Amino acid sequence: MHLMERGDLADLQIFMIVVRCNSFKLAAIELGLSTSAISHAIRRLETRLSARLLNRTSRAVATTAMGQELADKLGGGFEIINAAVASLNAPGSGKFGELRLNVFADAAHQLIAPALAEFHRLCPEVKFTLVVDDRPVDIIAEGFDAGVRYGHLVPEDMIAVPLTGSQRWVAAASPHYLERQGVPKHPNDLKQHHCLQLLLGSNAPFKWEFGSDESATHMSVPGLITIKDTQTTIEAAKAGIGIAYLLESRIHQEVLSGDLVVLLEEHASPGEPFHMYYSDRRHGHPALRELINIIRLQNGLSALPRLNEG
C-alpha cells in the first residue's frame, strides 16, 4: 500500500463507526452525513486498500476477515490518539467527542440524572447520549461506550467500577394501606397481603428476597398487579394498592415525606452496588471518567485517580 493520504484517516474513522454500528444508516446519523457519503467513503477505502472490508446486504453489514483484522488493529490506534489528546490538559481537552451510555431505569433516576448538570458544566463539548433500557444489552455490539448494572450482572470480560455502596432491598407500603390491611411482622405474613408483582428486564417474574447469606429466602408473593417500572410501582404503593419491593435508596424521599413506610427492616436483603462497566478500550475515555467521578463523589465514594497518577 502507498503512504496514507490526509483523507484516508477520515475514511478509516468512518469505517470504524460503521463496524461499531453494524449499519451505514446508523453511522450516517451519528456522523451527521448522508448514507451515500458513508458508502462513498467505504468504497474509497476499499479501492485504496485493494480489498473488500465489508459485506453489505439490504438488512445488515458485516466485516470480511480482512475488514475485521483492520478494525481490530485500528481500535488500539484510535484509543492511543484519544489518550494523547486527553493528556494535553488544555482547557476542555480530552472532553470532546461523544459518550453513549446504556443504563437501566433505576440507575438513570438515581445516578445519571443528579450528575448531568455537573457533567455538562465540566464537559460542555461532549455529545452525550443516554439510553434507558431495562433489558440485558451487549453494549459493545450495540455501540455504547459504557453501561450501568448491579455488580454481579457485569460481564466478566468488562472493567467494572463501583458507583455506590451496597444497596438494600425492602418491602414498603403507604400508611393508608397499613391502616386498612395491617402491618406484616414476618415475610410469611405477606401471603395475606396484596403485593405488587415485579418483572425483570428479561420479562421473567421476580421473587422477593429476604435475609442474607445462608438465611436468605426467596418468596413468590400474592398479587394481581404486575408492573415492570419502578416509578409506577412507587406510585401504586403510595396510592395504597399494595406492598412494593424496592431499593431502599430509590424511595428515600417517599420515606422521608411519610408517603411510604419501610416494612420488615430486620429481614431486608443486601444488594450489589451499582457499577459502571466498559471494555478496556474505553478505559481512557476522559468524559466517561469524569462522569464516573461525579457520581462516585455524589454517593460518598472517592474519585478515581487521574490516568497519569496511576
Q: Which CATH number fits domain 167-271: 3.40.50.300, 3.40.50.800, 3.40.190.10, 3.40.50.11890?
A: 3.40.190.10
Length, in residues, of the chain: 310
Residue range(s) of every CATH 3.40.190.10 domain in the chain:
98-165+273-299, 167-271
Q: Answer whether 0.85 is exceeded by the pTM.
A: no
pLDDT over 70 at 180, yes or no:
yes
The residues with which 159 forms a beta bridge, in sequence order, are: 278
Query: Helix axis angle, 24-31 relative to 6-21, nearest 10°?
Result: 120
For residue range 114-149, what is the model confidence (pLDDT) as tens digits?
999 999 999 998 999 999 988 878 888 788 889 999
- Round to whole Å and give the CA distance between 193 and 237: 13
For residue range 60-85, what is the model confidence (pLDDT) as tens digits?
788 898 888 888 888 777 666 655 55
Ordered alpha helix ranges (H), 50-184: 65-86, 105-107, 113-122, 175-181
User: Which residues, 6+ apart, have CB-to-CB distance to 236 below 8 Å?
Assistant: 196, 225, 227, 242, 244
Span 6-88: which CATH code?
1.10.10.10
pLDDT over 70 at 308, yes or no:
no
- Highest-confidence segment of 2-6, 245-249, 303-307: 245-249
Instruction: Return the CATH architecture of domain 98-165+273-299.
Output: 3-Layer(aba) Sandwich (3.40)
For residue range 227-274, what is the model confidence (pLDDT) as tens digits?
988 999 999 999 999 999 999 999 999 999 999 999 999 999 998 899
pLDDT value of residue 238: 97
